[in-house]
Structure 1
Amino acid sequence: MTTLRTQSLSYTTPQGRELLHDITLSVAAGETVGLVGPNGSGKTTLLRCVYATLRPTTGRVLLDGADLHAMPVRARARRIATVPQDTDAAAIELSVTEVVAMGRSPHHRFWEADTAADATLVREALARVGIADLAARPFPSLSGGERRRALVARALVQQPDVVVLDEPTNHLDIRYQLEVLSLVRELGTANLLALHDLNLAAYFCDRICVLAGGRIVAEGPPADVLTKELLGSVYGVDAEVGIHPATGAPTVVYLPPTRAVTTS
């Protein structure tokens, strides 16, 4: 069974700013773990260390016990698929089909062409994320939400063991937010994703890790982590947290700041 683990991971910028400190977490096959926290808490930096665009200053990222950063690039790419936060790829003059088909490249030698089986995987992935009708469109011409779905399709055709997603619901309307997160959960992969929407995290994640100031300040099942006290201390907001009768998941309702009443 595939297990992704970060072990005492820290990251400090070349300018000396520590963005992550002593992060230890694990994600097993079939499990979805959500990273939540305010802007600047370290979520994206942690994901970049996991999918190896950043190298941790200290600590390691382990995949089934092997150091991920010591793996050959192609071997790593066969096992980990990423859906990055930034989908601004105006310089990529490729069709949607060509972008999605890039997910098959780790499975071929550089001189090998895509096969009929690859083409079938691409068509099926495009259909699963609801953009089969956009297959021939130039990727830069898509809306932000359409690009996001195309990158999820690229991850699907990669057939990875681990899927890492940074704000996968950005730019998506509510229908596709629900469909994309449902699809990710159905893959059976080890899923690590950063989310801003705490209600989506509560419903779709098996466990939640709360980051603040580059540290994990809470970790566990959503019902244990998402409390009124934690939301006040980490996010600085007042909120009510209850269990939704239909879903059984915690539901967060944010309360506006109390305004002082003035009398004349």
Structure 2
Amino acid sequence: MTTLRTEGLSYGTGEGRHLVDAVDLTAADGETVGLVGPNGSGKTTLLRCVYGTLRPTHGRVLLDGDDLAALPVKARAQRIATVPQDGHAGFELTVGQVVAMGRAPHKRFWEADTAADTALVTGALARVGIAALEPRTFASLSGGERQRALVARALVQQPSLVVLDEPTNHLDIRYQLEILSLVRELGTTNLLALHDLNLAAYYCDRLYVLKDGRVVASGTPEEVLTAELLGDVYGVAAEVSTHPKTGAPTVVYLPEGPTHATLSI
């Protein structure tokens, strides 16, 4: 059983600006919970507070009732895996070595990889579709390939909570669907930020909508994704309907102005 909860979570700058402002959030055991909102709404900052690279200025993050701020870094890493928005391309390590880094929280500093560790790495690379890239350097990969390698690293970490910041970044449509399907199949509790509202509607159990660092709506995709909310939060006109095959809300954005434009040269 793994439950994430934030209580009054805030993160402010030295100028008194709150990037995240009094956020209460829950991800129940096995749930996939999405954060959506426009650029600058606080999604990435909130995730960084959850996985520990930022220390909240107020409030706390609880995992199964344990205050994460009180846990040693290694103990936190044994329970939380992170897939950042952009994998840094400067690693001179091979793809296999980068993925094997996911085992570090479970080992002593001087311990070598075991046959079991190697099997986990091989299996994770196969699951994300890049087994053939294992000997390549991480720096030589495309953005989408790096993203899949970082998901594989999270898999070998064997966490109970996975935090993902735009996990479909740089991925073509096929791998967007495959990665999000894989995340849901892990059996972990998942918290992820997504820009694509249709992907969020299909793959997330519940959504939290952020605007200016605050939660302005939360609930199931059906409850949250309305034309009125999209107009208020994103400033766009949209139609929301139920897809006849998936049963999930489907968002269609409507351009402003005339439906047909005349281009003069």
TM range (shorter): over 0.9
Task: Give SS of 2:167's match.
Answer: coil
Cross-structure match for 2:19: 19
Paired residue for 2:46? 46
Query: Match for residue 8 of structure 2?
Result: 8
Alpha-carbon offset, residue 249 of structure 1: 0.2
Q: Distance in 2 between matches of 1:32 and 1:213?
A: 23
The Cα offsets for residues 55-88 of structure 1, whole Å up to 9 and x where unpaired, read as 0000000011111011011110000000001212
Q: Which amino acid aligns with 2:248?
A: A
Q: Give me the whole-angstrom Cα distance separating, in 2, the residues matched to 1:212 and 1:179.
A: 29
**Distance in 2, Cα, partners of 1:136 & 1:123:** 11
Structure 1 residue ranges (4+ consecutive) displaced by more than 3 angstroms after TM superposition:
259-262
- How far does the alpha carbon of each residue in 1:184-211 deviate from its partner, in whole angstroms, 9 at most, with x for none? 0001111000000000000000001000
Q: What value does the CA root-mean-square deviation take over the aligned residues?
A: 1.3
**Separation (CA, whole Å) in 2 of partners of 1:51 and 1:162:** 10
The Cα shift of 1:16 comes to 2.4
| 1:57-68 superposed matches below 5 A | 57-68=57-68
Residue matched to 1:232: 231
Q: Which residue of 1 aligns with 2:131?
A: 132
Q: How do 1:137-176 residues align onto structure 2 when only pairs under 5 Å count?
A: 137-176=136-175
In structure 1, list runs of 5 or more residues that go unmatched.
none
Name the structure 2 match of 1:210: 209
Identity %: 75
**Deviation of residue 258 (structure 1)?**
1.6
Q: How far does residue 117 in structure 1 lie from its aligned partner after superposition?
A: 0.2
* Range with bigger deviation, 251-260 or 157-166: 251-260
The one-letter amino acid paired with 2:224 is V
Secondary structure of 1:146 counterpart: helix
What is the CA–CA distance in structure 2 between the aligned matches of 1:260 and 1:149, rounded to whole Å? 39
Residue 261 (structure 1) shift: 9.7
Distance, in Å, in 1 between the alignment partners of 2:30 and 2:136 is 33
Q: TM-score when scaled to structure 1?
A: 0.97
Tell me the residue number matched to 1:121.
120
* Cα deviation, residue 17, structure 1: 1.8
1:255/1:15 Cα in 2 relative to 1: closer, same or farther (>3 Å)?
same
